[in-house]
Amino acid sequence: MIPGQRTRPYHVFPDVPGSCTIARCDGFCSDRTRKTPYHMTREGLVNTQRYRDRRVYVTGGSSGIGLSAARQFFRLGADVLIFARSPEMLQRVAGEIDHHRVSQDQRISWRVMDVSIREQVNAEVLEAVGEFGIPDIVINSAGQSYSQYFEQTTPEIFDSLIQTNLYGTWNVLSSLVPFMKTSGGHIVTVSSIAGLLGVFGYSAYGASKFAVVGLSQSLRDELLPYGIRVSVLCPPDTDTPMLERENLTKPPETTALSAGAGIMSPNDVARAMITGMEKGRFIILPGFEAKGIHLLYRLVPGLVEKIIQYQIARAQKGS
């Protein structure tokens, strides 16, 4: 036996749907030497009861970061309610998430909701709280992206981004905060690295995401006395359907700048978000590149601006 190796194996939940590989498992994976159920994933040993009986609301939960967050929380034992606009997609992804359940009494449910329509949000949230319960965690992942030169960005596109990204966040929080003030919890808004640093080609998108950061910072202090923590997630480019649509109109200068921040998978972003939440971080920056860019801009903004201008000029010469 290898020195230090355990004599009793952990129960293992495969990443694909199926039952535990250990015989006589009691419905979820556990090490019999521990009081808390665990299971093994590619990321290592995970406490599947860390979020047991926690209720998690995820807007934009049918794809991208929202879907990955919903899946991660469900695998950690939480009850998850996802919101999005397409009932077909919601039904499909809810069935997929259900394959990751770690206890028989877990709940995964969904509701159709457009976060930009205030009356609809108010009605859906009221029904959700009555049926599912007050959330312990809210992930505001519903959003819209667009990249284009300023003069080619129409007022309609600008309004749409503000309505979805800013008002969508406001609508959800204004409906949920009164309920959460009675029990506390954790709110995560989703901004972007472009919400911390102005980026060429993101005049509309960046404006909406800067506003989300400002809203979150104000709420952080205002809600703290009620036991509500607030974090804002600021990821770099993430491999999602939204990025694919964004790339259709993205200027070459923006493409060159984005390459420096790297691209992440939504699963990696969701894991970084949960880690940041547990560490009590306000601004959560997934990935080494995003952290490095943010730190450099805070310490030597003039140098960063010169680097950005050089990359823009280089891209323009090559186009």
Report the candidate in 307, 288, 283, 318 with the shortest Cα–Cα distance to residue 200: 307
Other C-beta atoms lying within 10 Å of the C-beta of residue 241: 11
Sign of CA dihedral 52, 58, 64, 67: positive
Report the candidate in 91, 105, 50 with the shortest Cα–Cα distance to residue 72: 50
Cα 219 → chain centroid: 18
Catalytic residue chosen out of the listed positions 175, 205, 208, 216: 205
Check if 167 is active-site: no
Query: Which positions ≥6 away from 75 have C-beta within 8 Å?
Result: 41, 46, 48, 100, 102
Catalytic residue chosen out of the listed positions 57, 145, 202, 209: 209
Backbone angles phi, psi at 36, to 5 degrees: -105, 130
Distance CA 36, CA 50 (A): 9
Check if 226 is active-site: no
Map residue 91 onto helix, strand or coil. Answer: helix
Check if 203 is active-site: no
| 216, 230 Cβ separation under 8 angstroms | yes
| 290, 236 Cβ separation under 8 angstroms | yes
Distance CA 231, CA 216 (A): 7
Backbone angles phi, psi at 243, to 5 degrees: -65, -35
Catalytic residue chosen out of the listed positions 145, 191, 192, 216: 191
Q: Indicate which residues carry an active-site annotation.
A: 191, 205, 209
